[in-house]
Amino acid sequence: MRAITLDRDGAAPTARDDLARPSPGPDEVLIRVRASSVNGFDRKAADGALRGSMDYRYPVVLGKDFAGEVEAIGGTSEFRVGDPVFGVLMRSYLGDGTWAEYVTAGGGDGIARVPDGIELATAGVLGLAGATALDTLDALAVRPGDTVLVAGATGGVGALAVQYARLAGARVVATARPGPATDFVRDLGAAEVVDYTGDLTGQVRALAPDGVSAVAHLAGEGAPLAGLLAAGGRLASTIGFGPDQHPAAISIFGRPERGTLDRLADDVLAGRVRMPVDRRYELDEAPRALTEFSGALGKLAVSMP
Ligand SMILES: NC(=O)c1ccc[n+]([C@@H]2O[C@H](COP(=O)([O-])OP(=O)(O)OC[C@H]3O[C@@H](n4cnc5c(N)ncnc54)[C@H](OP(=O)(O)O)[C@@H]3O)[C@@H](O)[C@H]2O)c1
């Protein structure tokens, strides 16, 4: 099968077409992958930045998000052959990946049915960023009238975090560069936009003199953002800023569990949220997508042959 792999330590990601199709284990299904996306995790994996924290089992197939059809069932499964499914691979090692024509998923992976009315190309960009955005907003317990600062609003997680904070009734302050990025976050529902390349804390203080109720910390330094919290405020960080650094900080590890994936799909189907896609790439172009990840507004999508 075709896949994008790292073939050895330090090798650049390349397309190859000689990999064996994987076989599903007893608690897995084999999926014919149709769509995926680029996450920061993929870039870190490709750069070798996860060496030391994860085992690289070569050839490493890159990719975490998937959407496709169930092709075969390993043992017993609630899914049937032909079912459209989406989700996220959650392995403790690097080796199996979704930037391939086939992948097996089950066990500890996140997998859910794609409801009728959602295309696989849409479902393929949702999993990791969407689940992480939902987990972040759940941890912040946003209430109507809160002012929520989303730091990193222009990325995949941020684009959904802005929309979920707005849905919860908050006034959203989003970070973005001037120009198209500012238009992008306003379009998603941000009431105020602050330019993170300038005096971010000064701009936020001018908008919320008593501090903000909550911070979704998806980019930038945590400490100055935590300093912007009103009394009783909360900060949820997807980038490792936790209670050891600040008493109001919660560290988020995105968990694409069934209920979370179902919520995401339902919200997309109902039109309550959408995951913006900046650019689309064919599978063979995925290595280039990794180099074009910075500066993207929302997601970069990958589609399989
Ligand atoms: N803990 C978890 O389970 C988990 C799960 C998913 C993601 N993550 C992490 O969460 C972060 C967000 O994920 P993502 O997929 O949304 O990544 P992303 O697409 O790279 O989004 C980050 C966004 O923040 C912008 N940005 C960069 N520096 C900033 C700053 N100082 N202040 C405000 N915005 C800034 C970036 O703009 P430019 O592109 O122009 O630099 C980019 O649009 C990533 O670091 C990712 O690795 C963690």
Domains of the chain by residue range: 3-126+275-303, 129-251
Q: Is the CB of 238 under 6 A from ligand 1?
A: yes
The mean of the pLDDT values for the chain is 97
Task: List, for residues 82-117, the tens digit of each pLDDT value.
Answer: 999 999 999 999 999 999 999 999 989 999 999 999
Residue 257 has pLDDT above 90, yes or no: yes
Q: What integer pLDDT is reported at residue 5 of this predicted model?
A: 98
Nearest CA among 256, 233, 27 for reference residue 128: 256
Residues 215 and 196: beta-carbon distance below 8 Å:
no
Same-fold call for 3-126+275-303 versus 129-251: yes
3-126+275-303 CATH choice from 3.40.50.11540, 3.90.180.10, 3.40.50.850, 3.20.20.70: 3.90.180.10
Residue 56 has pLDDT above 90, yes or no: yes
Choose the residue to mutate in 36, 65, 92, 132 for probing ligand 1, maximizing ligand atoms within 8 Å of C-beta.
Answer: 132
**Crossing angle for the helix pair 156-167 and 180-188, to the nearest 10 degrees:** 40
Q: What integer pLDDT is reported at residue 247 of this predicted model?
A: 98
Q: What integer pLDDT is reported at residue 113 of this predicted model?
A: 98
Radius of gyration of the chain (CA): 19
Residue 151 CA to ligand 1 center (angstroms) comes to: 8
Query: Which of ligand 1's atoms lies nearest the C-alpha of 251?
Result: 1
Q: Is the CB of 218 under 6 A from ligand 1?
A: yes
Task: List, for residues 177-201, the tens digit of each pLDDT value.
Answer: 999 999 999 999 999 999 999 999 9
What's the token pair of residue 112? 């859910």
Beta pairing, strands 212-217 & 229-237: parallel
Task: List, for residues 2-13, the tens digit of each pLDDT value.
Answer: 999 999 999 999
pLDDT band at 49 (very low <50, low <70, confident <90, very high): very high
How much is the average pLDDT of 36-51? 97
Q: What integer pLDDT is reported at residue 305 of this predicted model?
A: 87
Q: Which CATH architecture has domain 129-251?
A: Alpha-Beta Complex (3.90)
How much is the average pLDDT of 214-219? 98
CA atoms of 204 and 192, how far apart (whole Å): 9
Residue linked to tokens 């849409």: 122
Return the percentage of the chain with pLDDT > 90, whole number.
Answer: 99
Task: List, for residues 162-174, the tens digit of each pLDDT value.
Answer: 999 999 999 999 9
Contacts of 59 (CB under 8 A, 6+ apart): 3, 5, 6, 7, 16, 19, 95
CB-based burial label for 285 (10 Å; 0-12, 13-18, 19+): middle
CA dihedral 119, 162, 111, 23 (to 10 degrees): 80
Chain-centroid distance, C-alpha 68: 18
Inter-CA distances, 283 with 58, 99, 136, 178, 301, Å: 19, 7, 30, 32, 10
Element at 166 (helix H, strand E): helix 156-167
**pTM of the prediction?**
0.97
Contacts of 296 (CB under 8 A, 6+ apart): 38, 155, 278, 279
Q: What integer pLDDT is reported at residue 304 of this predicted model?
A: 95
Residue linked to tokens 């003199």: 209
Give 3-state DSSP helix, strand, coil % of the chain, rounded to 5. Answer: 25, 30, 45
Inter-CA distances, 302 with 127, 236, 237, 285, Å: 13, 29, 27, 8
